[in-house]
Structure formats: C-alpha cells, structure tokens
Amino acid sequence: MRAFADLLDRLVYTRSRNAKLKLIADYLRAGPDPDRGWALAALTGELDIPGVKRAAVSAIVDERVDPVLFRMSRDYVGDTAETVALIWPAPEGGEKSEGLRLGEVVERLLTLGRSEAPRALADMLDRLDASGRYALLKLAMGGLRVGVSARLAKTALAQAFDLDVDAVEEVWHGLKPPYDELFAWGEGRAKQPTAEDVPVFRPFMLANPIEERTVSLDDYAAEWKWDGIRIQLVRTAGETRLYSRTGDDISAAFPDVAAAFDKDGALDGELLVRGDAQGGAEGGAASFNALQQRLGRKKVSAKMLDTHPAFVRLYDILFDGTEDLRELPWIERRKRLEGFVPQLPPDRFDLSAIVEAADFEALADMREGARDAAIEGLMLKRRDSPYVPGRKTGLWYKWKRDPLTADCVMMYAQRGSGKRSSFYSDYTFGCWTEDDELVPVGKAYSGFTDEELKWLDSFVRRNSVARYGPVREVEKTLVLEVAFDSVHESKRHKSGLAMRFPRIARIRRDKPADEADRVETLKSLIT
C-alpha cells in the first residue's frame, strides 16, 4: 500500500499533466503484479468493491470517534476519505506504514459482503498510517478525485511501455482487472491481446473548435450538432453494447436502443429522446433535459421507457460487419452509412442530415437562426477525412451556438471537493418572480479564475446568513452573469426551469441585485 499511497499523495499536489503521466508511468513500470493492475483499475474507475459503502465507513468511524466531531470535521475538510484518514485513532503501539499489499487488500475486500467488509476495513485501517488510510479508503469507496481521468491513466500506461494509446483503447474493454495480459504485452512477454467476439470500444474521432470562418464547403460537409450524448454502438457475436464518449458501457440504461441494434458493426451517433415525449421539437428530438431523466440509471422502468423513448441519430460508421471502414474518406463512409441505416428499426435509428448552404456566410446565418431545443450548433467535416482517434487539426470542426446569458443573484454556496474542498466554489443562483421573490434557477462551479474563486469564497464567508452543513446561505446582494447553452422547463425546480451547462461568465459587482433578470425573461428563452 505504501507505493500506491505515495502515488496518490503526489498526484493530488501535482498540476502538470506531463508530471502526472510520469508519476503513473513510473509506478506501473516498477510495481508488482497484481498490485499495479488493481491500481490501474482504480485510476480508470474500473474498480468496484460492493461490500464497502460510504454509510458503512461512517458507521465504523462512529465506533472510534465522537460522531459530532467527525461530522464537523467532514464539513470542514470536504472529503470523507481524507477526514477519516486524519481522525482515525492510532491503535496501541502507534501507527504503522507497512504490512499490507494493495493486491491482497482488494482481493480480500472483493470476497466480503456488506456485513463483513466494514469490519475488515477497520482492521486494515489500524495497520496503516494516515497516508495509507487515505489511499485505502479512496480505493475502497471509489472516486479517487486526484485529477486523473481514465484516458490520462491509459496514456500513462502506453508511455510506460511504449505502446500506442489507441491500441490500448482498442483492447481495453475486452480485459478485466488486474490486467495481467495488458502488462505482459507491455513488457514484451506476450502478444497484443485481441478483442475477438467482444463488442469493444474504439476511440472517438473528435472535433476542434472552429477559429477561422474561411473553410470551403467544397471541402467540408456540414451537419447539425445535436444536443444529446455522443455514443458508439457496437455489435458482434450476438452481443450489443453502447459506449459513452469516455468509454463507459451505458447499455443497461438504454435497453430499448441496445435491443434494437441487431446488425453487426460499429456506429457513431448522438443518443437523444423523442421530441413527442416533451411536446415535440424540430428534428424529432427533445431537449437534453428530457434525455437527462434516463442518464445514470442502472434500471429503467417500463414507464420511463414509454414516456422517454430513446433513439440514435447516426453520424458515422466504423465497422460494417467485420469490415473496418475507418481508413476510408468520410464521403465513402457516409455512403456506407446511408446503406446501413435502412436495415435498422426507424423508430430507434435515423440518419443525421447534411445541412445544405450556398456558401459559408449562408451557413453562418443558418447557425445563428438555429435555436431548436436539441441543436447545439454545427459540425464541419472534411470530405476526405479518415476516422482517426482524437482531435486532428483540419479534419473536423465544431461550431457551437453563442451562449445565452442572464444576470442572476447568488443565493447559496457549497464547498467543493478535492483541491477545492477548502473553498466555497459551487454557487446556486436565482432570478426574481413576478411577486419579487428570488427563486433558484441554476447552479454553477466553473467559468471563474483562481483569483475570482478566492474573491467569491471571501464574499461567501463575509456575507453568510445561515449554515446547513457544507452549504451557506448568503445575503442576496451579489449579481453573477451566467452563461448557458439553453434553458428548458423542469418540474424538479421551484422556478420551473433548468439551465443547460451554466457557468459563471462575469462577477457583476457593479449591478444592484434588484436589477437582476426575472424568471419570465428566462422562460422567454425556452426553445
């Protein structure tokens, strides 16, 4: 556990991406099996220990520490694992720093149920120092929050063993922790693992933001950029999987779509919900808010399947059966996709249409006029582009609509997590009703600089009027200019509204709170 604990400590305090890559690569090269494999699973979010839940951890702490002291400490620190690691009382004989191997810890906890795992966890905590306890708890509860994405961890693995990261992605979903085959391949002890007869994830081709409006429509084709979630549909050997852009398997949340995709191949598209579920929308798609009702569910009710029917608007084809089409130019893949789509159920799959325009200026006018609930902007794809992983300059561009803005009043602030656990960095803001009541319309935790964060945190502390655990209510005096992509009706919020991607655009210290926008103004922006 010592080496893994050291790795987490260093990752938390390292900002540089390249430095993080080197730390992980060094650990993976030097670490023994299966420890390094379980560590990689934890870093990529692939490790799940069902016997250990947050409530069980709180319960075992309550047996050792005053519960009131623990909860007060948790509110201040902002992270359960860090709080427990610091507050856990040292056993007789003092703290220890060795004695547990990461692989042994994981494999033991995986064999225990919810009634046994917490006690075993407590025994392990007694054998570690504060740093080791922090690493153990992060490992057991999941969600490391050390500034490492799954892609970055895979990139570090590739760099450690001089592998191609896209080749790693190609086989990743056909392997299971602790990834013995992966390390054997990396160290030259075995050939590259294969993913035959497994519907594996392939890295997405991504777009760069357009910077110059000078591309020629002779070279580029335009499509609408639909506001759902980008997914990959893969079917082989009788099994279908849906993958998100990060490679997460989301098939269980969309069984209706998975069941309907019954032709072998791999397609790229946008997952949406039918417009008639929310009163109708141009293009047959409802707003992202409708799709959000189904995201993250492990099980979808029959009612939800009926009221929020999902479908996929298809963009591209990677495989037709077992034939790999990714090296073909886009225009050839488009023809193959047009031939593939009619084989699929039309209620679950359709083709993203090409946007025809006389020239770039006409296309710009069409983009500005597109305020459909399910459209984010435009995509521009070079007609001769192959399907290549990642963002390659000059091939695909995204041209999003300009954001909407509203002046809102800060109402509540909450502590952040990880590096922001000491700052009030999550802000709930509101607008005025016709009765001059301030009601929440959104929450944002991005868009501001580090210096602005410090100022906002100071404002919250100086102007608090009530505390609710990690949340503070503040005097309703500070106006924030909030940028957002769209706004939709929502029964979940008192205001009846929900913003899409809200972020803080400006701190309006110059504007009185009573001059902030009204709820009716936001309602007029609903598309």
User: How many Cα neighbours within 13 Å face the side chain of 385?
Assistant: 23
146: which DSSP letter? S
Q: 395 and 408, same structural domain?
A: no
Peptide bond into 309 cis (omega under 30): no
Distances, alpha carbon 336 to alpha carbons 219, 311, 330, 331, 333, in Å: 19, 20, 10, 9, 5
Name the strand (E) or helix (H) holding 364.
helix 360-369
Q: 284 and 415, same structural domain?
A: no
Name the strand (E) or helix (H) holding 416.
none
Domain limits for position 420: 404-523
Give the CATH number for residue 504.
Answer: 2.40.50.140
Give the CATH number for residue 263.
Answer: 3.30.470.30
CA dihedral 515, 517, 519, 522 (to 10 degrees): 170
Give, to the nearest 10 degrees, the angle between helix 67-77 and helix 54-64.
130
Residue 276 has pLDDT above 70, yes or no: no
Which of these three, 400, 430, 448, is where a domain ends? 400
Q: 473 and 358, same structural domain?
A: no
Please give the mean pLDDT across all residues of the chain.
Answer: 89
Q: 260 and 347, same structural domain?
A: yes
Residue 298 CA to chain centroid, in angstroms? Answer: 16
Backbone angles phi, psi at 55, to 5 degrees: -65, -35
pLDDT digits (tens, 9 = 90+) for 112-141: 998 899 999 999 999 999 999 999 999 998
CA dihedral 173, 179, 185, 190 (to 10 degrees): -110
Q: What is the per-residue pLDDT for 371?
A: 60
Using the Cα atoms of residue 81, residue 83, residue 88 and residue 94 in order, give the sign of their dihedral.
positive
Check: pTM over 0.75? Answer yes or no: no
pLDDT digits (tens, 9 = 90+) for 357-395: 988 888 888 887 776 557 888 999 999 999 999 889 899
Q: 323 and 441, same structural domain?
A: no
pLDDT digits (tens, 9 = 90+) for 313-327: 999 999 999 999 999
pLDDT interval class at 281 (50, 70, 90): very low
Do the domain assignments include residue 137? no
The DSSP bridge pattern shows strands 220-226 and 310-320 to be: unpaired
Do the domain assignments include residue 84? no
Which of these three, 370, 385, 400, is where a domain ends? 400
Domain count, the chain: 2
Do the domain assignments include residue 92? no
Q: 292 and 346, same structural domain?
A: yes
Residue predicted with more confidence, 163 or 402 = 163
Give, to the nearest 10 degrees, the angle between helix 54-64 and helix 117-126.
50
Q: What is the per-residue pLDDT for 413?
A: 96
Q: What is the per-residue pLDDT for 280?
A: 37
Q: 426 and 471, same structural domain?
A: yes
What the block records as the tokens of 126 is 């007694």
The DSSP bridge pattern shows strands 220-226 and 486-489 to be: unpaired
Q: 484 and 382, same structural domain?
A: no
Where do runs of H (alpha helix) occur along 88-233?
102-111, 117-126, 130-141, 150-160, 165-172, 180-186
Which of these three, 400, 435, 467, is where a domain ends? 400
Residue 277 has pLDDT above 50, yes or no: no
Where do runs of H (alpha helix) occur along 143-287?
150-160, 165-172, 180-186, 255-260
